[in-house]
């Protein structure tokens, strides 16, 4: 096993087999790459010498073999290993992973792009620029820091930003607004109601996932689809969310929530509750490739996040920089094609990865404070 901590904030895993087949995965929690790296190294003691094709058994041992289980770092380590094992299995059988999971149920995949950053300003120009490239759906951070009860001035700023996109493009551009868990229940109700007239594609993480019980109240203030799940790490966490019935779209992350194996099960659970899936993926090319493989064979996926040009990638690298053939993720008319190559369907530039790993990174999210000095959610 080889691990590469590469800019801007990613961790790549390479698993080599004695038959000469190599699999790649992306095990990372943003801001804690070094901790996940250690967790992967800990699992390697169990995995070395095992049959890589026994993916489900290895998943069960990694998850259930310790007395304590779950959590973002451990589940992200399992996720990256799982991706790499599926990549190996696909290459062994000379088939895309989706063929081993039931085969394609779609011909192409809709994607959305990010607009603006942590402190969104001129999102109108960003939306126009993306629309010119063929993008038909965007997501933006809704707010900056917001206190438990905050000013209506901040609410109006969010409304004005969304309105600027609608005024420029009408309904030719679908819009998702990410509350990013920055908004507490009281203000989330207000914001959801105020954004109702703009007919959004969804509002995301209106409250932190630890406060999902608040979705009941928030849903009563809007008909806009509610999305959440990027900070939920197993089917057991999603179980109660789905049973409560106040979510419309779940967003598990294939580099956080146990990998391809686990998210396939989570998506199947969601289908039984008539809930859509839009996998979370503001990450690198391996994570996106894993998502696309899952999306290809999962009927309730309706759109895929991807990080081309995302604000997090401004320093050091972007999504396509580590690929031999960057065209595999080129989108047109708001869609990308389903790759037909074996395994994850991508070829990584190992020379570039090794070179970038020498630079490395120690990315951390910022620490924000409210106007009165109290800690704010980023």
Active site residues: 180, 280
Q: Which of 112, 31, 23 is nearest to 76 (CA)?
A: 31
CB 45 within 8 A of CB 35: no
How many whole angstroms separate alpha carbon 228 and alpha carbon 309?
Answer: 23
Torsion of CA 192, 221, 376, 255, to 10 degrees: -70
Using CA atoms, how far apart are residues 170 and 163, in angstroms rounded to an integer?
Answer: 9
Contact indicator for 286, 338 with CB cutoff of 8 Å:
no
Q: What does the radius of gyration of the chain's CA atoms come to, in whole angstroms?
A: 20
Question: Residue 335 forms beta bridges with which residues?
Answer: 110, 332
**CA–CA separation, 270 vs 250, rounded Å?**
8
Count CB atoms within 10 A of the CB of residue 253.
30
- Nearest by Cα to 232 from 214, 208, 265, 213: 208
The DSSP code sequence of 209-237 is GGGGGGHHHHHTT--S-EEE-TT--SHHH
Distances (CA, A) of 351 to 3, 205, 323, 324, 358: 14, 38, 10, 10, 11
């Amino acid at each position: 096993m080889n691990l590469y901590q590469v800019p801007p904030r990613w961790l790549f895993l390479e698993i080599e087999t004695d038959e000469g087949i190599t699999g790649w995965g992306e095990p990372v929690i943003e801001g804690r790459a070094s901790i996940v790296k250690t967790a992967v190294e800990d699992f390697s003691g169990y995995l070395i010498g095992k049959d890589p094709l026994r993916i489900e058994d290895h998943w069960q041992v990694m998850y259930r073999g310790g007395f304590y289980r779950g959590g973002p770092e451990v589940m992200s380590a399992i996720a990256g290993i799982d991706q790499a094992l599926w990549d190996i299995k696909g290459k062994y059988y000379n088939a895309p992973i989706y063929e081993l999971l039931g085969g394609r149920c779609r011909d192409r995949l809709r994607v959305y792009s990010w607009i603006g950053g942590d402190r969104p300003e001129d999102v109108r120009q960003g939306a126009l620029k993306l629309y010119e490239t063929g993008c038909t759906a965007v997501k933006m951070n809704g707010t900056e820091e917001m206190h438990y009860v905050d000013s209506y001035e901040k609410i109006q700023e969010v409304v004005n930003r969304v309105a600027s996109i609608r005024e420029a493009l009408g309904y030719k551009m679908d819009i998702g607004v990410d509350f990013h868990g920055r908004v507490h229940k009281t203000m989330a109700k207000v914001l959801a109601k105020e954004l109702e007239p703009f007919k959004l594609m969804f509002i995301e993480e209106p409250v932190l996932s630890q406060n999902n019980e608040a979705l009941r109240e928030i849903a009563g203030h809007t008909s806009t689809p509610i999305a959440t799940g990027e900070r939920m790490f197993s089917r057991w966490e999603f179980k109660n969310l789905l049973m409560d019935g106040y979510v419309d779209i779940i967003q598990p992350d294939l580099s956080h929530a146990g990998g391809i194996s686990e998210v396939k099960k989570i998506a199947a659970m969601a289908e039984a509750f008539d809930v859509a899936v839009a996998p979370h993926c503001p990450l690198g090319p391996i994570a996106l490739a894993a998502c696309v493989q899952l999306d290809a064979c999962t009927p309730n996926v309706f759109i895929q996040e991807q990080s081309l040009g995302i604000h997090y990638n401004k320093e050091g690298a972007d999504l396509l920089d580590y690929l031999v053939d960057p065209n595999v993720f080129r989108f047109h008319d708001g869609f990308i094609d389903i790759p037909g190559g074996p395994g994850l369907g991508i070829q990584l530039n190992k020379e570039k990865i090794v070179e970038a790993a020498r630079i490395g990174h120690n990315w951390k999210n910022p620490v924000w404070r409210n106007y009165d000095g109290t800690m704010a959610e980023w």
